[in-house]
Structure 1
Amino acid sequence: MHSRFDTRTAIVLPGTGSDARFAADAFSAAFESVGLTTIAVEPDPAAVVESYLTALDDAAHRHGRVVVAGISLGAAVAVRWAATNASNTAAVALALPAWTGDPAGSPAALSAEFTARSLREQGLDAVTAAMAASSPPWLARTLRRSWASQWPALPDALDEAARHRSPELHELARLELPAVVVGAVDDAVHPIEVGRQWARALPNCALRTVTLDDIGRDPGCLGRAAVDGLDGPQAQPPSC
Structure 2
Amino acid sequence: MTSTIPRTAVLLPGTGSDEVFVRAVFARPLAALDIELVTPAPPPGNALAEGYLAELGRLAAARGPLLAGGISFGAHLAAEWAVREPGRCRGLLAALPAWNGAPDAAPASLAATLSADLVAEHGVEAALAKSAEGSPPWLIAELGRAWRRHGDGLAASLRTAASRPAPSLAALGVLPCPAGIATCVDDPIHPTKVAREWAAALPRAAVVETTLTALGEDRESLGRATVLAWLRAARV
TM-score > 0.5 by shorter chain: yes
Which residue number in structure 1 is paired with residue 34 of structure 2?
35
Gaps of 5+ in 1: 236-240
Q: Percent identity?
A: 37
Gaps of 5+ in 2: none
Give the aligned residue type for 2:134: S
**RMSD of aligned Cα (Å):** 1.5
> Could you tell me the TM-score, scaled by structure 2's length?
0.95
Q: Is the 8 A contact 1:20 1:41 kept in 2?
A: yes
After superposition, what is the alpha-carbon deviation per residue over 1:14-63, rounded to whole angstroms, capped at 9, x for unaligned? 00000000011111110010010100121113211112112101110111
1:91 lines up with 2:95 in the alignment = no
> Could you tell me the TM-score, scaled by structure 1's length?
0.94
1:150 lines up with 2:134 in the alignment = no
Output aligned runs, 1:71-82, within 5 Å: 71-82=71-82
Deviation at 1:230, TM superposition (A): 2.1
Q: Secondary structure at the match of 1:90?
A: strand
Q: Secondary structure at the match of 1:153?
A: helix
Q: Is the 8 A contact 1:4 1:231 kept in 2?
A: no
Q: Is the 8 A contact 2:103 2:163 kept in 1?
A: yes
Give the aligned residue type for 1:156: A
Which residue number in structure 2 is paired with residue 178 of structure 1?
178
Which residue number in structure 1 is paired with residue 227 of structure 2?
227
Higher helix residue share: 2
Which ranges of 4 or more aligned residues in structure 1 deviate by more than 4 Å? none
Which residue number in structure 2 is paired with residue 238 of structure 1?
none
Deviation at 1:115, TM superposition (A): 0.9
Q: Is the 8 A contact 1:83 1:175 kept in 2?
A: yes
Q: Secondary structure at the match of 2:17?
A: coil
Give the aligned residue type for 1:162: A
Which residue number in structure 1 is paired with residue 20 of structure 2?
21
Output aligned runs, 1:81-120, within 5 Å: 81-120=81-120
Deviation at 1:226, TM superposition (A): 1.8
Deviation at 1:77, TM superposition (A): 0.6
Deviation at 1:233, TM superposition (A): 3.2
Q: Is the 8 A contact 1:5 1:91 kept in 2?
A: no
Q: Secondary structure at the match of 1:133?
A: coil
CA distance in structure 2 between the partners assigned to 1:176 and 1:224 by the alignment? 22
CA distance in structure 2 between the partners assigned to 1:110 and 1:22 by the alignment? 22
Deviation at 1:4, TM superposition (A): 6.1
Which residue number in structure 1 is paired with residue 132 of structure 2?
132
Deviation at 1:100, TM superposition (A): 1.0
Deviation at 1:234, TM superposition (A): 9.2
